[in-house]
Amino acid sequence: MKILLIYTGGTIGMIHDSQSGSYIPFDFENLQEQIPELSQLDCELEVISFDKSIDSSNMHPKIWTQLGKTIEDNYLKYDGFVILHGSDTMAYTSSALSFILENLNKPVILTGSQLPSGVPRTDAKENLITAIEIAASTKDGKPEVPEVAVYFEYQLYRGNRTHKVNAEHFEAFESVNYPALAEAGVHIKFNRRYTQNLSEEKLIVHKEFNDNIGVLKLFPGITESTVNAVLSAPKIEAIILETFGSGNAPTCEWFLAAIKKATVKGIIILNVSQCQGGSVELGRYETSRALKDMGVLSAFDMTFEAALTKLMFVLEYSKDTDRRIQLITSNLQGELSS
């Protein structure tokens, strides 16, 4: 098995520099010197590093498409891919890649760490080794996980179902609305009933995103001027409306009038719950029935990260409003429950 390791940046690629006293990126060309256990894995490993290490806070759709292009260029040469990435925006990147890589039938595993590689108690070594092992795992000659996934601290999650929940614990990620794809202990146990089916179609790599999107997070006491400022921002084509509970929002006249004005203008509004678990159910309560009547769309049980990247993908994929609505509310890559 041949695995391509793609280093974008992040804590996992850092070591302590004794002269400066700070953490600096190490040379991934000498990866096995840092982690000699890699030589015991039953796969051939090659490494590509971004020219400039990227802090995950600086992640951008252009970098997502760069990653997609890198996988496309090397798709026939390797059996799987492991992407090293800063944890802060990993869930955004994994969600975006799930839409970029249409008809994917090879593993693309993202991982990182909470502590740098060269410090005691680091989680970097285990995360990296296991991510590579997962990317190289097959059953009956077929990959165990033919999709984009995130591996962190003994758990493998679907990439577009993942959310970072903790900045200090090694268990930094959760997938509240979808089961783990695998669990790593003494053995790696794959939950095959939850992984994507192999695609028989040729890989299609999408290379553009439309980021004309606004986010309106509701809170008790939100003002009319705040709502209007977001809804009337220039060039906005879609809004993520972060609502309460199962999709509920204020019912005061000025708020509903602002939402209706935006939808009449053709702005797509996608209702995403502020809750990590559960689903948006428009019309279940009176506080969401008006939104449904005005054409606000339900994100169902999508994460915020999946909803955002899906909107960016769909807005670029089609300019037809009806087609956009159909795609947004459909399950494209396992990002929502059918």
Q: Is 11 a catalytic residue?
A: yes
What is the rounded CA–CA span in Å between residue 40 and residue 271?
Answer: 48
Report the run of H or E that residue 2 belongs to, with start and end.
strand 2-7
The two tokens of residue 92 are 């955004």
Query: For the residues of 152-189, what is the DSSP string, one character each?
Result: ETTEEEEGGG-EE--SSSS--EE-TTS--SEEESSSEE
SS3 assignment, position 195: coil
Determine how β-strand 188-190 pairs with β-strand 155-158: unpaired
Question: Please, what sign has the CA dihedral across residues 279, 284, 289, 293?
Answer: positive
Answer yes or no: are the C-beta atoms of 282 and 276 closer than 8 Å: no
Catalytic entry in 11, 65, 111, 309? 11
Comparing CA positions, the residue from 250, 254, 261 lying closest to residue 286 is: 250
Q: What are the residue numbers of the active site?
A: 11
